[in-house]
Copies of this chain bind each other. A is one copy, B any other.
Amino acid sequence: MFNQVTIIGFGLIGSSIARAMIEKKLTNTIVCVDKDQEVCTHVLALGIADDATTDASLGVEGSDLVILCCPVGAMEFVGSRIAGHLQKGAIVTDVGSVKGRVIEMLQPRLPSHAHLVPAHPISGAENTGPDAGFAELFINRWCIVTPLPHTELQALEKVTKLWEAMGSMVEIMESDHHDLVLGLTSHLPHLIAYSVVGTATDLEDDIKSEVIKFSAGGFRDFTRLAASDPTLWRDVFLNNKPAVLEVLQRFTEDLTALQKAIRKGDGEYLYRQFTETRDIRSAIVDAGQAEYLTPLDE
């Protein structure tokens, strides 16, 4: 499918892409770019790249596809570094959780002969780093691709086919719409999880140890989200500010209404709200998106 692919950032996602592309024979050569020399050395030892460098401009030379797997906050810097070194007609794509700001950061920097096709695989795992990656990470997962109005159809098709070849289902969407939908389905839940777990970190030590011991009641689910990569999520919130603040505002209004109902002892309101939310869960189960059907503790 490709002759030479450069993957910039060999964390969980970058190293999983490398593994999947090798397994599916989607490229002749993989070049690893990572700012950390140790990661470069380790990636070569793992045999998941043919060449490795800490220098992004050097790393993209001669590649027909460049995949940016660095944190969203590093996109601007990396874009500037690689711009003058891209092969004519090279496709540049990314895996950032935010799309509008990434386009704003990359588009003005890239040469006009290169094709920018932003993408966001909705997949991840609890652990990070090149050792945590695995080739099956994207199987049966959605990958949202957000082409620009002037993106060439051929480049869009190549990126779409790449994700499908790695097992994903691809959805085409406008970047602003992506940022609003993901603001609700992903960014808000993570922010809230970080906040709930943060509340627990402020507790006195004896209560904190009990919170850990009896975490099975629901809190445990939040700690999993709140153990996600801090750099990644800092960058998401800094770069999807308007959408996150909007969904946060809606959430706060709804929570305040529940709080008032508890204070007033309004059981009818609580019962009605708690019943409506069941329909959404049923819809997710029906859509085949409910994965975790292991016992839930109350």
Contact = CB atoms under 8 A, between A and B. Distances in A.
Contacts of A259: 245, 248
A262 interface: yes
Contacts of A228: 274, 296, 298
A200 B183 CA distance: 11
Contacts of A200: 184, 280
Majority SS at the chain A contact face: helix
Interface size band for A:
35 or more
Given A216-B291, A262-B241, A291-B216, A250 B199 contact: yes
Nearest to A186: B217
Given A237-B262, A255-B192, A290-B220, A226 B280 contact: yes
B245 A199 contact: no
Nearest to A214: B185
Interface stretch (A35-43, A77-85, A104-112, A263-271): A263-271
Contact of A227 (B225, B245, B252, B278): B278
Contacts of A149: none
A122 interface: yes
Given A208-B280, A292-B294, 14 more contacts: A123-B295, A123-B298, A182-B214, A188-B218, A191-B258, A194-B273, A198-B276, A202-B250, A202-B254, A212-B284, A227-B278, A227-B282, A228-B298, A238-B262
